[in-house]
Amino acid sequence: MIISNDEDSPVVREPVNIYAAKTQLSRLVDQAAAGDDVVLSRHGKPLARITALQPPRRVVRYGLLKGQIRIGADFDEPLPPEVLAGFEGR
């Protein structure tokens, strides 16, 4: 059974016999990496699923640059007219 996650209604195909999957493993892994879940079966009963892995979540480390960045005292002051004009395309 191959389940496509590309659309709202997934495409479901016949399960792949585990013995046949041995000879087609590379192709089945490529299909799974492309987003299609592949269900392996033995004697017609679903046994396992090959599915794409999600990329690992990036760890955010807060305070990494603490003490290395300075923000000027006038940071939130209005921009000078000549700088503001450059942003506005004048």
Distances 10 to 5, 18, 47, 50 between C-alpha atoms, Å: 6, 22, 20, 16
Domains of the chain in start order, with CATH, are 2-50 (3.40.1620)
Q: Report the 10 Å Cβ neighbour count for 70.
A: 7
**Is this prediction's pTM over 0.75?**
no
pLDDT for 28 beyond 50: yes
54-76 per-position pLDDT tens digit: 888 988 899 999 999 999 998 99
